[in-house]
Every structure is written in structure tokens, then in C-alpha cells.
């Protein structure tokens, strides 16, 4: 296995306020972790169960952590490798990190929230080990971070899950009101609500929670990907709550760029008149255009059109053309001149055509792993362990790196007002749904 240890990549300037430290749960292939790293965070620990994802992390920035106490005592530097635990979060005692971490972050595994309407208890339906929100509460209780950043699918906010979603928010508000053995979540939630209603919880024992649904395309990711972010601040910080990042890119700007011709000129190709005829111009808003699939495949360095022969194409690793794609009802490809569909975990059989494209040679084909990595804004030298299937699984489950950086910047600006400004991390609103 080729190890590709990466350079720092952090945008934290020397001389800024002290960098934020963090622990990453459910790390996967490292999208959220890498985005926070680029925002200047220093990871004290990363935890991941999936073996292939752990190998990917080792190939890039991580090393195995043999001693949690030593990791908690270490002062992480910009070029330090991320200490990695390969295993279940449930099996890790995070007590050595109590009071030593600014941010606890994690994309909580997307348990099947599509069971809306089924008349079964949520925790009973999904099973204890598949619902890891209680682990987020537990680790928050043990570590007592200043901030918690959690990412999940938008389906969690569906009306059918309102009771459990409210429980998640209240569990993060009062993580130190620990769930008792054999206490079901509804009884625990009643205790949480009672304490919140009483208003007698000290500020250092509670968190202020805000949530927002963000579209990755609005932050320079060439993909339509709406995700839920929940951010909790310790109440005693006096911040008042998370302010979600202001979008830097917009659909309106892309539409105008396509209609007015700047987009086509930039790519040196003739306009697709039949495509632009379906678009309605809008007022300019000063934002950059959404990035498209064609943008991702051509900038900063153009990827060659792959041969569909399962052999590596010239260029960065994982650019391997795969044969056998065919269009059929309900499986329309992503359009080259629009952000891609939401990338899902899987290969053959993934519904909706999320991993296919009509390329510039007129072929209907599967996207390569490297092309999908670009749609997730991983750099070209970020490598993924396994064959095509496991690699696509890691990518579909990841948080786009550029979106993660925008989240990290928004939190850093509030926690470290003296840190270097970053035009991709302006803040606005209160982030509440």
C-alpha cells in the first residue's frame, strides 16, 4: 500500500489566536476532519470503525493512537498526524480529554431515517448500535468541549421524526443529564425537558443549540447536497449561539453566467442553446456562480476523459473508467453544466443516476472515483483504500471538504474573533431552522 502523507494544508496563519483543538467521531474518509483542518483546527483524536476508511486516513493524515492519555497531553501542531483509533466510538473512554478539547465534531452515521410513517419506536426500529446520537451525548459529557458540531441527513427533520429530533437537540443542550441504565429515550427526554423548563441549569452545564440545513453548492462544492448541521456552544461562553456561514456561491449567478455566455467562454466551448433556453435570468446578487461538474473536471487541472476499460487513465490516482453504464427510467445522469446530483454511497444499483454523466465525448458513463472525489472537493492527492465499491462508499458517506471548512470557519470566527479573516467564512443569521 502506498502511503501518501500530506503536507499541512491548513490555512491558519502563524501569529493568529491559538488554534482550536478537536476530536473527530465517525471520521470516515476524512471529509469533515480535513475541512476543519483547513480551517485551522488541530485534531487530538479521530475515531472510525470501517477498516477501509481507516486505511484511507492512514494513507493521508492519520497514524494509529496507542495511548489515549498521551494523545490528550500532546500539543498538536499544524503538521502533526491525526491520532487514530480504529474501532467503535462506543468502546472508547474519552475521559482523558476532559476540558482539553475546543470542538467535538462528527457526521453521525445516517441511520435509516427513511422509516417515516412506520408505527414502531425509532430506537427499536433502528437498533441500539445503529443509532449513535446517544454516543454523541456521552462523549460530550465526558469531554466537555466548548463546541459540538454534528452533521446528518435532512431526513432527520421530517415531521415523522419530530419527537426524536427534539430529543437530539435537548440531549445536546443538557449532555450532563445522563441517561440512566434501562431508561428509554422518551423518559430521558421528559427529564431533560423538565430541567430546561425549570431554568435552573448553570451555564457551565448546558449548551446553546442551533441548527441549519445547508446546500453544499452554496459553498463552492460542485454538487447539490443538502445536509443538516447542528452546532452547540457552551452557554458560559456568552456567544448566544452559532451563526451559520453565509453562502459564497449561488444558483442565480450560475444561471446568469450560462445565459450571458461567460461560462461557455471560460470553458472555450459553444453554448448549449437548448439548455440555456430552459433557464430564467435573475437579478445579480454578487455571489460567485455555483460550480458545475464540468468546472470540477477541468479546474484546477483538467482530467482526461477516461477509457472505459477498468485501467488507470493518465493523471491522479483513482481515475479509472468503468464500463457498463446504461440509461433507463429514473436514472438520469448528472449534467455536465450543472452541479452534480447528491453523491450517494454505492456503485451499481444506486438509484437516480447519481454516479453517471453524459461526458463531453457524448458517452453515457460512470464517473470515476477521482471525478467523484472532485465533486466532494477532496484534493487530487487524497487517496482512498479498497476497490471501486468501498471507495465510492467512503465518498458517498463523507462531508464535502469545502463545506466542512465553511462550517469550521464560522465556528472559529465566533470562538476566536482575532483570527485571520476568511472571505469564505462570513457569518449571517442565527442558524436556526
Residue 349 has pLDDT above 80, yes or no: no
Domains for the chain: give ranges and CATH numbers: 21-247+400-415 (3.40.50.150), 249-396 (3.90.120)
Q: What is the pLDDT of residue 116?
A: 38
- Answer for the pair 227, 399: CB distance below 8 angstroms, yes or no: yes
CA distances from 133 to 22, 182, 318 (A): 18, 17, 33
The C-alpha angle with vertex 352 and arms to 348 and 353, in degrees rounded to 5, equals: 60
> Which pTM was predicted?
0.93
Strands (E), 252-398: 288-289, 356-358, 364-366
CA distance 149 to 407: 9
Find where cell 462550517 sits: 407
pLDDT band, residue 433 (cuts 50/70/90):
low
- Whether 54 is a known active-site residue: answer no
What local confidence, expressed as pLDDT, does residue 350 receive? 59
Residues constituting the chain? 433
Chain segment 230-249, per-residue pLDDT in tens? 999 999 999 999 999 999 99
Query: 44-48, 143-147, 324-328 — which is least confidently predicted?
Result: 324-328
Cite the DSSP H helix spans in 106-184: 122-126, 133-143, 162-173
Label residue 74 exposed, middle or buried (CB < 10 Å: 0-12, 13-18, 19+): middle
Percentage of the residues of the chain whose pLDDT score is greater than 70: 86
The lowest-confidence range among 45-59, 65-79, 176-190, 413-427 is 413-427
Residue 170 backbone phi and psi in degrees, to 5:
-70, -30
Tens of pLDDT along 24-36? 999 999 999 999 9
User: Average pLDDT for residues 162-183, to the nearest whole number?
Assistant: 96
Cβ-contact 127, 17 below 8 angstroms: no
Mean pLDDT of the chain: 90
Helix (H, G, I), strand (E, B) or coil at 370: helix
From 20, 57, 68, 110, the catalytic residue? 110
Least confident of 152-156, 333-337, 417-421: 417-421
- Which has the closest alpha carbon to 315: 381, 360, 363? 381
Peptide bond into 199 cis (omega under 30): no
For the segment 122-142, the average pLDDT, to the nearest whole number, is 80
Q: Report the half-sphere exposure of 185 (CA within 13 A, side-chain side).
A: 21
Identify the residue with better confidence: 354 or 223: 223
Q: What is the pLDDT of residues 88-119, one digit of tens each?
A: 999 999 999 999 999 999 999 865 554 433 44
Amino acid at each position: 500500500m502506498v502511503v501518501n502523507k500530506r503536507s499541512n494544508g491548513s490555512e491558519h496563519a502563524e501569529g493568529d489566536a491559538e488554534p482550536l483543538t478537536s476530536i473527530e467521531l465517525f471520521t470516515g474518509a476524512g471529509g469533515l476532519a480535513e475541512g476543519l483542518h483547513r480551517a485551522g483546527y488541530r485534531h487530538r483524536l479521530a475515531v472510525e470503525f470501517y477498516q477501509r476508511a481507516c486505511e484511507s486516513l492512514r494513507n493521508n493524515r492519520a497514524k494509529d493512537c496507542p495511548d489515549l492519555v498521551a494523545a490528550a497531553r500532546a500539543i498538536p501542531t499544524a503538521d502533526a498526524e491525526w491520532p487514530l483509533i480504529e474501532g467503535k466510538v462506543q468502546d472508547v473512554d474519552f475521559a482523558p480529554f476532559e476540558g482539553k478539547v475546543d470542538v467535538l465534531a462528527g457526521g453521525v452515521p445516517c441511520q435509516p431515517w427513511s422509516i417515516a410513517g412506520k408505527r414502531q419506536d425509532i430506537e427499536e426500529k433502528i437498533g441500539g448500535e445503529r443509532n449513535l446520537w446517544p454516543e454523541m451525548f456521552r462523549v460530550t459529557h465526558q469531554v466537555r468541549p466548548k463546541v459540538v458540531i454534528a452533521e446528518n441527513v435532512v431526513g432527520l427533520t421530517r415531521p415523522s421524526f419530530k419527537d426524536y429530533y427534539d430529543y437530539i437537540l435537548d440531549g445536546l443542550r443538557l449532555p450532563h443529564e445522563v441517561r440512566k441504565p434501562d431508561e428509554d429515550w422518551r423518559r430521558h427526554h421528559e427529564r431533560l425537558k423538565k430541567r430546561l423548563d425549570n431554568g435552573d441549569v448553570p451555564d457551565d452545564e448546558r449548551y446553546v443549540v442551533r441548527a441549519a440545513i445547508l446546500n453544499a453548492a452554496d459553498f463552492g462544492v460542485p454538487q447539490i447536497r443538502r445536509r443538516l448541521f447542528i452546532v452547540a456552544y457552551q452557554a458560559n461562553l456568552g456567544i448566544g449561539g452559532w451563526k451559520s456561514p453565509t453562502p459564497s456561491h449561488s444558483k442565480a449567478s450560475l444561471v446568469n453566467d450560462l445565459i450571458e455566455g461567460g461560462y461557455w467562454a471560460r470553458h472555450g466551448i459553444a453554448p448549449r442553446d437548448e439548455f440555456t433556453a430552459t433557464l430564467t435570468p435573475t437579478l445579480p446578487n454578487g455571489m460567485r456562480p455555483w460550480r458545475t461538474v464540468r468546472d470540477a473536471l477541468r479546474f484546477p487541472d483538467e482530467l482526461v476523459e477516461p477509457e472505459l476499460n477498468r485501467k488507470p487513465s493518465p493523471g491522479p490516482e483513482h481515475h479509472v473508467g468503468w464500463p457498463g453504464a446504461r440509461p433507463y427510467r429514473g436514472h438520469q445522469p448528472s449534467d455536465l453544466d450543472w452541479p452534480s446530483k447528491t453523491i450517494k454511497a454505492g456503485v451499481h444499483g444506486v438509484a437516480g443516476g447519481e454516479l453517471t454523466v453524459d461526458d463531453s465525448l457524448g458517452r453515457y458513463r460512470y464517473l470515476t472515483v477521482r471525478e467523484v472525489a472532485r465533486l466532494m472537493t477532496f484534493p487530487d492527492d487524497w487517496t482512498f483504500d479498497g476497490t471501486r465499491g468501498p471507495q465510492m462508499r467512503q465518498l458517498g458517506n463523507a462531508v464535502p471538504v469545502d463545506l466542512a471548512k465553511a462550517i469550521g470557519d464560522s465556528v472559529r470566527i465566533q470562538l476566536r474573533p482575532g483570527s485571520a479573516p476568511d472571505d469564505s467564512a462570513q457569518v449571517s443569521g442565527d442558524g436556526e431552522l
